[in-house]
A and B are shown apart, each in its own frame.
Chain A
Amino acid sequence: MERYFITYSEWVNFLGKKSQQSELMAPVLSGSFLHYQKCQGEELKQVVWSQVRPVQPVKFFFFPYHEEILPGLSEQSPRVILGVTACDLAGLQVLDRIFAQSDFKDPNYQKRRERTLIISGDCYAPIDVCFCEKVGLQPYPEKGFDLNVSALEGGFLLEVGSEKGRNFLSELTGLSEASEEQLHQQAKMRNKAKETVLQFNQPFNFPSDLPNKIQPLLLAEEWKEVWQKCVQCGSCNFICPSCACFFLEDQSRGESFEKARTWDACLFPGYARMASGVSPRPHLYERYRNRLACKYVYLPGNFGLVGCTGCGRCIDGCAGRIDKRKVLTKIFGKNPNSVIYEPAKHL
């Protein structure tokens, strides 16, 4: 792994130059929250480095709320996204599996992905809803980035993750290799962040290999209680870095076939309703359970990746103030042997 040190002003000046060629999106404080904003020149001084993930996940850049999909995008200008946290990289990996790495390739997603450079960043300031450590991730990126940036005293540690990332740095001559001392500083910050996440999650008790463990508990009676404050707003779906469900609408005019797509939410009653009016999940508790099952059982089954990155956005944004970690604690409080998993029960 190539690791370099760059001073604060050198890096910000360099990005300033880059922002003349590409659109540069970076986390900036807006109110008391971080949001991605387009930054140019001097504005880059406002970028917040190595803090918690911004409010919106990076999926917004690759898979917008509403878009025309047929015909697809004709052009996508180059874009650089700065400060993508480890949890969001994991979410992006799920989206990659769905849209870019399966037998069918999504035209718009692929185009945007190819034209985007990802500069990830460590997270040294997790917040109380973060639980990446509980789903097998760390608060710092290990793969899936073009470059990673860790804030150190007086500058940054740059880690090259891909050829694209190396090329991005090519105009920076005379970069110095990171010193032992600087690597040590990074490791110390990373460990501290890990510990913070673990501390926030002490009250919760569920296993980290959720996919294997939760499957037999999907028919537990407890599911009929845990969802009760859900108002089916769908925020948890929309704000999630790995939720990617959508519906399609015909927009054909005249001779050509045209189509638009819009996000959908599995918490909505109409989500799975069929033409006959019946739905496989008529009860809200079934839909709530489905969302968790999708993250911890179905996505792993489909793509070998856990769907939940522990970013905590669905806890932060829940209108019913449901803390999913409490839900999991309750479900796992149940003795798995007491759930009678009877295949024909629902026949």
Chain B
Amino acid sequence: MNQPNIYEPIRATVEEVIQETPTIKTVVVVPEKPFSFLAGQFAFLTVPGVGEAPFTPSSPPSRKEKTDFTVMKTGKVTEAIHRLKSGDQVGLRGPYGRAYPLKDFEGREVLLVGGGVGLAPLRSLFYALMEQVEKYNRILFCCGAKTPDDYLYKDEVFTEWQSLCACQRLNFRLTVDKKDENWQYQEGVVTCTLDNIDFDVSTAVAAVCGPPIMMKFTTVKLLQLGFRDENIYLSMERKMYCGVGHCRHCLIGTRFVCKDGPVLTFAEIKNEPDAWA
């Protein structure tokens, strides 16, 4: 009878706040009780007195003692998150949802496509993949942002991760919509990085995360390239309140983005009249 209240968050303390871009910050929180998640799952972050909002952790799932959330400032809760300082108290509720089926990815080529703040969940997935990189045939990580300044995790993307490519299973393609004089990679929207991919598209999997419009165009591109509907993993965003399949705000057809997602395959959503925002 005395079950814990499903809406009760775990208390957590902000350890550090990192300014990634002018509108995006990463907050590192240390939960009071053990908190672990799998790549693809999400959690609600509460700023007491303001509200809570869903975010996908961006840190490696294997790092249990603290969790990163990379948050773009867009409204009430996210503005309050941007005002947080180290030592502040927040709440953490979750994890919720379904993880990426990493077992199924084994032996296949894996494509990650991220745009803007969409890099956040892919960073967590990327670290999970790298922990057993030998199990995947090849990994290609395509990233896009508006300008070089809008890139998240600059030290990692441009330096640390590049040095990992020596292992040959891994490659990056980086692009910006508009380059500056120091930019040494591609220019154009993220879908251009998908031209001339030499993957075996009959088995390759793709994980896509970014703004709705980017998700849509990337899906079109992947379908043109021959990716299978069931191999395209889309991080779907929906308005969410409960995270537990009760409030029904997040439904795409019969699928709850909070319980069956947030990552759904194109095969799972393609027949729904309002799958795309």
- The smallest beta-carbon distance between B234 and chain A, in angstroms, is 12
Interface core residue of B49, B53, B219 (most chain A CB under 10 Å): B49
Is A286 positioned at the interface, with any CB of B under 8 Å from its CB? yes
- Closest residue on chain B to residue A300 by CB atoms: B254
Q: Is B188 an interface residue (CB 8 A)?
A: no
Q: Chain A's nearest CB lies how many Å from the CB of B85?
A: 18
Chain B min CB distance to A288 (Å) = 12
Nearest to B44 among chain A residues (CB) is: A248
Q: How far, in Å, is B250 (CB) from chain A's closest CB?
A: 8
B248 touches A347 (CB 8 A): no
Q: For the complex, give the distance between the alpha carbons of A294 and B244 in Å.
A: 18
Task: Judge if A320 is at the interface, Cβ distance under 8 Å.
Answer: no
Task: List chain B residues, Cβ under 8 A from A289.
Answer: 273
Contact B238 A344 (CB under 8 A): no
Q: Which residue of chain A is the closest to B6 with respect to CB atoms?
A: A104
In B219-271, the 8 Å CB interface with A consists of 219-220, 223, 237-239, 241-242, 244-249, 251-254, 256, 259, 270-271
Interface bracket on A: 35 or more
Residues from 301 to 347 in A contacting B, C-beta threshold 8 Å? 301-302, 341, 343-344, 346-347
Chain A residues with CB below 8 A from B102, complex form: none
- Counting contact residues on chain B (CB < 8 A from A), the size range is 35 or more
A105 adjacent to B277 (CB under 8 Å):
no
Given A252-B48, A257-B8, also A286-B251 (CB < 8 A): no
A336 to chain B: closest CB distance in Å?
A: 15
Query: Do B50 and A278 touch (CB < 8 A)?
Result: no
In the complex, the answer to whether A106 meets B6 with C-beta atoms within 8 Å is yes
Contact with A along B6-38 (1 / 0, CB 8 A): 111100000000000000000000000000000
Q: Which of A29-37, A66-74, A152-160, A186-194 contacts B (4 or more CB under 8 A)?
A: A66-74
Q: Which of A99, A107, A255, A278 contacts B5 (CB 8 A)?
A: A107
Distance to closest chain B CB from A295 (angstroms): 12
Instruction: Give bound CA distance, A244 to B75, whole Å.
Output: 26
B63 is an interface residue with CB less than 8 A from chain A? no
Contact yes or no, A106 B253, CB < 8 A: no
Cβ–Cβ < 8 Å partners of A103 in chain B: 244-245, 259
Whether A202 is near chain B, meaning CB under 8 Å from some CB there, is: no
Q: Does any Cβ of B come within 8 Å of A280's Cβ?
A: yes
- Could you tell me the distance between the alpha carbons of A245 and B251 in the complex, rounded to whole angstroms? 11
A218 within 8 A of B: yes
Interface stretch of the complex, out of A13-21, A45-53, A118-126, A269-277 = A269-277
